């Protein structure tokens, strides 16, 4: 299928078209059209069919005139009006350029650094034609940020990159319920909680979470009451959020699952679900070296909790009485502190960390230890080793054998503190932590918490430190 008619467009612009049939020039499009609230939503969602319908109804353009402006054939415009999705990045850019739509309204603007937005072609190497993983990951990250802002604010914030359709594979023809009840939704919630506990113990679990998400999403098509449908959307948003996290923890991109979670929560009017997905997505961005983008996710998440939602059909929902809100608010603040620490803003890091503790009471031991381990990591980033040691030791003691993944992270931090301090006990702690990591399925822990320990070991003189560093690198490069 050919999307390009650049030569024809050039001839028309130059007034030298050789077409035997005179083409009526399209009437000018009022730039104010793109600022209409309903049109902005259409642009943000990349709903090109709706966009073309607006051009026909409100701008007086014919299918042929739209085709001339966008460099498409009239049949392609007709197919889009009939429901064909436009997913290709380059075509979206061509449409924006041809119609003189400000690219930031479609999430196609320049990046935060001022460089041009990444296109699909840019993801391929000029040498061997292979896909560049770093560029591809940047495209996923920008799409995730756009989806987060769209769900939290009802619009795409400028300079957030493309909002691409991240299709997820579907399974075969499993049996579906004839009609959904609350009991079915409760089953999804129970499955999610049980899988979450397994992931906390061992890490990974992307394959089982992915299978569960792909199966239960099909229940959206099963008849149910409005109340059941709303709770189903919330339950699926939680399931897809956890799936995104486990994919990240397994060394893969969870952006597609986070994007779907945001859409599910948005459609269900679930501001808490939006905030929870934004928080999880932001944590992955912090850990993968994008603290500035992570802060945007955390801010969007806070907007959702505060009821600062701009909805086209559902009113903003306030969550001030929801008992889950204080814990999630604390998590948003403490991870914002982590991002600021990585960006070398110690005052803001300390301020957000204090805000995380302010007015927050842990719901259980896991919640308390989670705050301790996050605080230990922030103190490590700020080079406050004694304080980091206190929080990491308390987290390791609290976790015990109940949550092996998180206890191991605390032990890695303790080992790093002792090695960096030059204490001989650091060798023993490092060896024990490395052994614990080797049996986990978590790729993210191997790459994010083990590598700092490797650097600390490399900084110390002596063959024992070098041998442990070599062992840790081997574990970091392999999977359980």
CATH number at residue 142: 1.25.40
Distance CA 82, CA 49 (A): 7
Distance CA 453, CA 442 (A): 16
Distance CA 361, CA 455 (A): 35
Structure tokens at 211: 């299978």
- What's the CATH number where 72 sits? 1.10.260
Position 118 in a domain: no
Same domain, yes or no: 295 and 355: yes
Position 236 in a domain: yes
Position 349 in a domain: yes
Distance CA 380, CA 40 (A): 44
Better-scored residue on pLDDT, 144 or 402:
144
Sign for the pseudo-dihedral over CA of 11, 15, 19, 25: positive
Q: Write down the pLDDT at residue 142.
A: 66
How many Cα neighbours within 13 Å face the side chain of 67? 19
Q: Write down the pLDDT at residue 153.
A: 56
SS3 breakdown of the chain: % helix, strand, coil, rounded to 5? 65, 0, 35
Q: Write down the pLDDT at residue 20.
A: 43
167: exposed, middle or buried (Cβ count in 10 Å: 0-12, 13-18, 19+): exposed
- Residue 242's pLDDT band (boundaries 50, 70, 90)? very high
Same domain, yes or no: 156 and 207: yes
Distance CA 145, CA 294 (A): 9
Same domain, yes or no: 480 and 437: yes
Averaged pLDDT score across all residues of the chain: 77
Flag whether pLDDT at 222 surpasses 80. Answer: yes
Rounded average pLDDT over 448-458: 85
- What's the CATH number where 459 sits? 1.25.40.10
Q: Write down the pLDDT at residue 3.
A: 40
Final residue belonging to a domain, choices 361, 377, 400: 361
Same domain, yes or no: 55 and 169: no
Position 20 in a domain: yes
Distance CA 138, CA 135 (A): 5
For residues 352 and 344, the answer to whether their CB atoms sit within 8 Å is no
Quote the number of domains for the chain: 3
Same domain, yes or no: 320 and 368: no
Position 111 in a domain: no
Position 375 in a domain: yes
Structure tokens at 53: 């319908």
Flag whether pLDDT at 164 surpasses 50. Answer: no
Same domain, yes or no: 352 and 383: no
Same domain, yes or no: 303 and 395: no
Helices 385-399, 404-420: axis angle to 10 degrees equals 150
**Measuring CA to CA, how many Å separate 245 from each of 226, 294, 422?**
29, 14, 35
* Burial call 350-359: b when 16+ CB within 10 Å, e when fewer: bebbebbeee
- Residue 155's pLDDT band (boundaries 50, 70, 90)? low
- Residue 146's pLDDT band (boundaries 50, 70, 90)? low
Distance CA 114, CA 335 (A): 26
Q: Write down the pLDDT at residue 362.
A: 76
Distance CA 197, CA 362 (A): 18
Same domain, yes or no: 341 and 458: no
Structure tokens at 221: 């098509």
Distance CA 310, CA 404 (A): 41
Final residue belonging to a domain, choices 87, 106, 125: 106
Helices 346-357, 365-381: axis angle to 10 degrees equals 170
Q: Write down the pLDDT at residue 480.
A: 53
- Residue 125's pLDDT band (boundaries 50, 70, 90)? very low
Same domain, yes or no: 91 and 142: no
Position 119 in a domain: no
Q: Write down the pLDDT at residue 308.
A: 41
Q: Write down the pLDDT at residue 321.
A: 62
Rounded average pLDDT over 51-79: 89
Query: What pLDDT, in 10s, does the model give residues 269-317?
Result: 898 999 999 999 998 888 788 888 889 999 888 888 876 443 434 444 4
Same domain, yes or no: 2 and 73: yes
Q: Write down the pLDDT at residue 156.
A: 55
Position 125 in a domain: no
For residues 44 and 156, the answer to whether their CB atoms sit within 8 Å is yes
Q: What's the CA dihedral at 45, 48, 52, 53 to 10 degrees?
A: -60
Distance CA 162, CA 111 (A): 10
- Interacting residues of 234 by C-beta distance below 8 A, sequence separation 6+: 264, 265, 268, 270, 273
Q: Identify the CA nearest to 261 among candidates 297, 228, 217.
A: 217
- Residue 177's pLDDT band (boundaries 50, 70, 90)? confident
Query: What pLDDT, in 10s, does the model give residues 11-56?
Result: 443 444 444 444 456 778 988 899 888 888 888 778 898 899 999 9
Q: Write down the pLDDT at residue 264.
A: 92
Length reported for the chain: 480
Same domain, yes or no: 153 and 244: yes
Distance CA 182, CA 250 (A): 32
For residues 395 and 359, the answer to whether their CB atoms sit within 8 Å is no
- Residue 171's pLDDT band (boundaries 50, 70, 90)? very low
Owning domain of residue 53: 1-106
Q: Write down the pLDDT at residue 120.
A: 38
Same domain, yes or no: 378 and 475: yes
Across the chain, which distance is largest between two alpha carbons, in Å?
87
Cite the DSSP H helix spans in 59-181: 63-70, 74-81, 89-98, 133-153
Determine the 3-state secondary structure of 168 from DSSP. coil
Percent of the chain whose predicted confidence (pLDDT) is above 70: 76
Q: Identify the CA nearest to 371 among candidates 351, 401, 398.
A: 398
Final residue belonging to a domain, choices 71, 106, 141: 106
Full-model pTM: 0.59
């Amino acid at each position: 299928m050919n999307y390009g008619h650049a030569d024809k467009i050039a001839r028309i612009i130059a007034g030298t078209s050789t077409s035997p049939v005179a083409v009526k020039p399209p009437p000018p499009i009022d730039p104010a059209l793109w600022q209409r609230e309903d049109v902005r939503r259409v642009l943000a969602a990349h709903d090109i069919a709706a966009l073309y319908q607006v051009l026909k109804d409100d701008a007086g353009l014919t299918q042929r005139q739209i085709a001339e402006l966008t460099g498409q054939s009239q049949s392609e415009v007709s197919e889009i009006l009939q429901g064909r999705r436009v997913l290709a990045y380059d075509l979206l850019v061509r449409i924006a350029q041809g119609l003189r739509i400000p690219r930031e309204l479609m999430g196609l603007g320049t990046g935060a650094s001022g460089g041009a937005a990444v296109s699909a072609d840019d993801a391929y190497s000029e040498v061997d034609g292979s896909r560049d993983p770093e560029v591809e990951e940047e495209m996923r990250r920008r799409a995730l940020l756009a989806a987060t802002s769209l769900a939290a604010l009802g619009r795409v914030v400028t300079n957030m990159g493309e909002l691409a359709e991240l299709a997820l594979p579907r399974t075969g023809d499993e049996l579906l319920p004839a009609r959904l009840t609350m009991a079915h939704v409760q089953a999804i919630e129970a499955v999610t909680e049980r899988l979450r506990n397994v992931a906390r113990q061992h890490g990974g679990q992307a394959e089982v979470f992915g299978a569960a998400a792909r199966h239960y999403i099909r229940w959206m098509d099963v008849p149910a009451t409005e109340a059941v449908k709303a709770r189903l959307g919330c339950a699926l948003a939680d399931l897809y959020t956890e799936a995104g996290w486990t994919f990240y923890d397994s060394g893969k991109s969870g952006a597609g699952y986070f994007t779907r979670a945001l859409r599910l929560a948005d459609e269900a009017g679930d501001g808490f679900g939006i905030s929870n997905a934004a928080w999880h997505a932001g944590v992955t961005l912090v850990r993968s070296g994008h603290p500035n983008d992570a802060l945007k996710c955390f801010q969007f998440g806070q907007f959702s909790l505060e009821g600062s939602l701009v909805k086209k059909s559902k009113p903003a929902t306030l969550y001030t009485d929801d008992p889950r809100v204080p814990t999630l608010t604390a998590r948003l603040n403490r991870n914002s502190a982590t991002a600021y620490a990585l960006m070398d803003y110690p005052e803001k890091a300390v301020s957000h960390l204090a805000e995380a503790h302010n007015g927050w009471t842990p719901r259980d031991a896991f919640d308390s230890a989670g705050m301790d381990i996050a605080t230990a990591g922030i103190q490590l980033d700020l080079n406050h080793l004694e304080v980091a040691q206190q929080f990491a030791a308390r987290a390791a003691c609290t976790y015990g054998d109940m949550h092996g993944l998180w206890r191991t992270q605390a032990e890695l931090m303790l080992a790093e503190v002792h090695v960096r301090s030059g204490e001989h006990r650091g060798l023993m702690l490092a060896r024990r932590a490395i052994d614990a990591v080797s049996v986990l399925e978590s790729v993210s822990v191997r790459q994010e918490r083990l590598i700092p320990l490797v650097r600390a070991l490399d900084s110390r003189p002596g063959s024992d430190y070098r041998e442990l560093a070599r062992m840790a690198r081997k574990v970091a490069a392999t999977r359980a």
